[in-house]
Structure 1
Amino acid sequence: MPRIVQLLASPVHRYVGRPADGPAPAPPGELVEEVRIRAGLGIVGDRYFGKPAHREASVTVIAQESLPPGVDLVQVRRNVLTTGIAVDELVGSVLTLDSGEGPVRLRVNRPAHPCAWMEVTVGPGAWKALRGRGGVRCTPLNDGVLRVGPVDVTVEG
């Protein structure tokens, strides 16, 4: 059964400067049990919420199956970690997730390519290993809530 494994809403950017210098410390409480999503704006409380440059990428989703064991959202800086959903195959579709609070529709716009920071936060070889498996960047099409746990999934398009 598909699940939402983790949710991340971080108010700060951790990857500033050069990867060799390491990321800024993670703020407490960025891994949450639920997130509130606003249509066209993103995740309330997240660093990209309402930013015009990120409107088409304000919610990022990655499959746990793409990550090495023990790697989580704090390291890859995506918002939604799922299992049982092949998210990297959904570019151009509308992904609907319902974790019990009603459907949340996400337009899957483009891949979320890994960056050089992955070599530091995940480990050597991660950038190459995550190419084509780094998740997707989405625009929320309606307001809603996502929670950690089982999720009903539908895909349009």
Structure 2
Amino acid sequence: MIRVEVVQLLVSPAHRYAGRPADGPSPGPDDERVESVEVRRHLGLVGDRYYARPAHRDASVTLMAEENLPRAIAPWADLRHTRRNVLLRGVDVDALVGATVELDCGSGPVRFAVNRPARPCAWMDATLGPGAQRALRGGGGVRCTPLSDGILTVGGAAFRVVPADDDGPAGG
């Protein structure tokens, strides 16, 4: 286990980045950041735009490392701009594709299958500034499937990569 920080959580009922980036984001709530969120096994984050959508079940939750935000381009960058769900400080999530991980914010571990990279799109240049898409290549976060139910909250957390033979209580 390593200690990490859940810096931000974003749960958005709306697809804000649809159409052409030059036209700007679609309307939606001013701030979709939350202090806590319920995670449901194989469904995603309750209230999020990808929750229980069959086409997104293997990628319903996106984790991102705060250290990869393009601060040189946009010092104010956060989840509202990248449209990722969980911003973590202290772990290189982009290096964990293919792994199973657990995040425990204090109410028990929530397990995720880290399936694939979350590739940055042209919207990053529109919302963060020119060069952001390129700056996020290889560091845009990872798309995950939740393998257990639980609660994530902003603040300190324990993080671990689950060994392949571990089918413990958070297993799925």
Does 2:96 correspond to 1:90? yes
Q: Which structure 2 residues correspond to residues 18-97 of structure 1 after superposition, within 5 A? A: 18-67=20-69, 68=71, 69-97=75-103
Distance 2:101 2:92 in 1: 11
Deviation for aligned residue 1:24: 1.7
Distance 1:16 1:83 in 2: 28
2:138 pairs, out of 106, 127, 132, with 132
Classify the secondary structure of the residue corresponding to 2:108.
coil
Q: Determine what percentage of the aligned residue pairs are the same residue.
A: 61
Q: What count of residue pairs does the alignment treat as equivalent?
A: 157
In angstroms, what is the RMSD of aligned CA positions? 1.0
Whether the 8 Å CA contact 2:113–2:145 is kept in 1: the answer is yes
Which string of whole-angstrom CA distances, capped at 9 and with x for unpartnered residues, describes residues 104-153 of structure 1? 00000000000010001111001111000000000000000000000101
Does 2:161 correspond to 1:155? yes
Classify the secondary structure of the residue corresponding to 1:153.
strand
Classify the secondary structure of the residue corresponding to 1:129.
helix
Whether the 8 Å CA contact 1:4–1:82 is kept in 2: the answer is yes
Does 2:157 correspond to 1:144? no
- What residue in structure 2 maps to residue 123 of structure 1? 129
Deviation for aligned residue 1:25: 3.3
TM-score by length of 1: 0.97
Which protein has the larger Cα radius of gyration, Structure 1 or Structure 2? 2
Which string of whole-angstrom CA distances, capped at 9 and with x for unpartnered residues, describes residues 69-127 of structure 1? 32100000000000001000000001100001100000000000000100011110011
Runs of 5+ unmatched residues, structure 1: none
Distance 1:29 1:70 in 2: 14
